[in-house]
């Protein structure tokens, strides 16, 4: 204690210092103190949007701050990824990418970002199987009749995708490879525009993520012929799975996750993980996920990062085997 200061003043200073320290700690843990922007690298109406928007609504309800969706579609989701990678790493711009961003390194010779080096993986938000959906006027009958039509007229039918190098594209190429059929690929700037044309009959089919197709299937605007994988989806129990239709190796899953630009402060990363998880695990969000046949994988940021690395390797092999190329 400084002998030149009265004891009362020393105590007052100690209390003030303690209060300042507490306020500083609260300020660090107060994220978000303003609206947060999430870059969604596809136009509105696609699979990423199908999860980003309900997540955004719950985030705002829980934190009192907006989670603003910034749709930046183009180049199979890589345009928006490049924009997000260059954002200020202050915790107030995050990126909602998808499986497409683990396919892109094998499809594009040059990208202006690296999904592993320029981003920090935070939360795996949703996982949902791919589904073969058709326009009911353009394609009639069941899966067997559909296959007969494909084989009778190679190339006459077409499929739309969210863009070259996306999971929609690779799912279509895998299907063609495994069934030894030919279907013309029509790439769009996102699943939303492709779905609109599918509903309108401008294209014949899509290999879409169930999240963006679910509402249209339930509304009768499009028809599901098959879900990928070895089991039926609980949200659509009447739709047969690939394995029971004679395609045991046709397994394609679409997933969506949250990343932060590299350099985002660790405390902000922790708060993003905490609040996004809370938003995705509300009863309201669970109902949306369930209706879309999706799951919320319970992965830590480190586990998500390991998963992303494994997906990059897996899709590299798929691209090589399928012979898929940029159109």
Classified as helix, coil or strand, 120 is: strand
- For residue 132, is pLDDT > 70? yes
Question: Measuring CA to CA, which residue among 84, 149, 150 is closest to residue 122?
Answer: 84
Domain containing residue 84: 36-127+254-322
- Neighbouring CB atoms inside 10 A of 276's CB total 23
Whether residue 31 is contained in a domain is answered as no
Average pLDDT over residues 174-196: 93
| Residue 67 token pair | 């989670």
**82 occurs within a structural domain:** yes
Instruction: Locate 221 and state its tokens.
Output: 């605007």
**Whether residue 241 sits in one domain with residue 136:** yes
Does 138 lie in the same domain as 90? no
In a domain, 193, yes or no: yes
pLDDT of residue 45: 86
Nearest-10 crossing angle of helices 301-322, 167-179: 40
Distance between start and end Cα atoms, the chain = 76
Per-residue pLDDT, 7: 53
pLDDT above 90 (res 3): no
Mean pLDDT, to the nearest integer, of 116-129? 97
pLDDT of the residue at 55: 98
267 and 121 co-located in one domain? yes
Residue 267 lies in a domain: yes
**Chain segment 210-226, per-residue pLDDT in tens:** 988 999 999 999 999 99
Residues 237 and 258 in one domain: no
Question: Is residue 142 in some structural domain?
Answer: yes
In the prediction, which pLDDT does 277 show? 98
* 8 Å CB contact between 137 and 208: no
Higher pLDDT, 76 or 202: 202
Residue 141 located in a structural domain: yes
Residue 196 included in any domain: yes
Same domain, 123 and 133: no
Boundary of a domain, candidates 199, 215, 245: 245
Which of 189, 219, 245 corresponds to the end of one domain? Answer: 245
What's residue 186's pLDDT?
Answer: 96
- pLDDT classification of 257: cutoffs 50, 70, 90: very high
Q: How far is CA 48 from its chain centroid?
A: 5
**185/261 same-domain check:** no
Q: Select from 226, 245, 264 the last residue of a domain.
A: 245
Same domain, 159 and 236: yes
Task: Report which secondary-structure segment, H or E, holds 145.
Answer: helix 143-152
For helices 47-63 and 210-218, give the axis angle rounded to 10 degrees.
100
Beta strands in the chain (DSSP E): 36-40, 67-71, 93-98, 119-134, 158-161, 184-187, 205-209, 223-227, 253-261
Residue 269: CATH number of its domain: 3.40.190.150
Whole-structure pTM value: 0.82
238 and 136 share one domain: yes
- DSSP-derived secondary structure for 173-232: HHHHHHHT---EEEE-SSHHHHHHHHHHTSSSEEEEEHHHHHHHHHTTSSEEEEESSSS-
pLDDT, position 324: 77
| Whether 74 contacts 162, CB under 8 Å | no
Give the model's pLDDT for residue 15.
Answer: 45
The answer to whether residue 4 scores a pLDDT higher than 80 is no
Number of domains in the chain: 2
pLDDT tens per residue across span 282-312: 999 999 999 999 999 989 999 999 999 999 9
Q: Of 20-29, 74-83, 184-193, which gets the smallest average pLDDT?
A: 20-29
Residue 17 counted as domain residue: no
**Residue 40 dihedral angles phi and psi, to the nearest 5°:** -105, 115
Q: Are residues 150 and 216 in the same domain?
A: yes
Name the band, by pLDDT with cuts 50, 70 and 90, for residue 8: low
CATH of the domain at 179: 3.40.190.10
Q: Indicate the Cα dihedral angle 17, 21, 24, 26, nearest 10°.
A: -130
pLDDT digits (tens, 9 = 90+) for 75-98: 889 999 999 999 999 999 999 999
pLDDT at 233 over 60: yes
**Contact residues for 51 (Cβ-Cβ < 8 A; gap 6+):** 96, 125, 126, 211, 256, 288, 289, 292, 294
Q: Are residues 219 and 316 in the same domain?
A: no
Residues 232 and 258 occupy one common structural domain? no
Same domain, 162 and 267: no
Which residues contact residue 34 at a Cβ distance below 8 angstroms, ignoring those fewer than 6 apart? 65, 92
Q: Round the average pLDDT of the chain to a whole number and report it.
A: 90
């Amino acid at each position: 204690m400084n002998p030149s200061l009265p004891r009362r003043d020393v105590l007052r200073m100690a209390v003030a210092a303690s209060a300042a320290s507490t306020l500083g700690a609260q300020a660090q843990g107060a994220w978000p103190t303003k609206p947060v922007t999430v870059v969604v690298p596809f136009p509105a109406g696609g699979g990423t949007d199908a999860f980003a928007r309900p997540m955004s609504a719950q985030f705002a309800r829980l934190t009192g701050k907006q989670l603003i969706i910034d749709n930046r579609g183009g180049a199979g989701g890589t345009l928006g990824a490049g924009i997000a990678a260059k954002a200020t790493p202050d915790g107030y711009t995050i990126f909602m990418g998808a499986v497409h961003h683990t396919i892109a390194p094998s499809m594009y010779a040059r990208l202006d970002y690296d999904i592993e080096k320029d981003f920090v993986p935070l939360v795996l938000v949703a996982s949902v199987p791919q589904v073969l959906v058709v326009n009911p006027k353009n394609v009639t009958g069941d899966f067997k009749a559909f296959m007969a039509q494909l084989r009778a007229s190679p190339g006459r039918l077409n499929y739309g995708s969210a863009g070259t190098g996306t999971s929609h594209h690779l799912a279509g190429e895998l299907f063609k490879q495994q069934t030894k059929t030919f279907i013309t690929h029509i790439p769009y700037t996102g699943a939303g525009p492709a779905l609109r044309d599918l509903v309108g009959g401008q294209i014949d089919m899509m290999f879409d993520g169930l999240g963006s197709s679910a509402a249209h299937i339930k509304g009768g605007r499009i028809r599901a012929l098959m879900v990928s994988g070895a089991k039926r989806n609980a949200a659509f129990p009447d739709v047969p799975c690939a394995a029971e239709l004679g395609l045991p190796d046709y397994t394609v899953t679409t997933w969506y996750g949250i990343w932060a630009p590299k350099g985002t402060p660790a405390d902000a990363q922790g708060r993003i993980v905490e609040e996004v998880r809370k938003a995705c695990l509300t009863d309201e969000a669970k109902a949306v996920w369930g209706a879309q046949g999706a799951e919320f994988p319970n992965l830590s940021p480190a586990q998500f990062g390991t998963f992303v690395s494994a997906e990059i390797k897996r899709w590299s092999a798929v691209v090589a085997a399928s012979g898929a190329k940029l159109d």
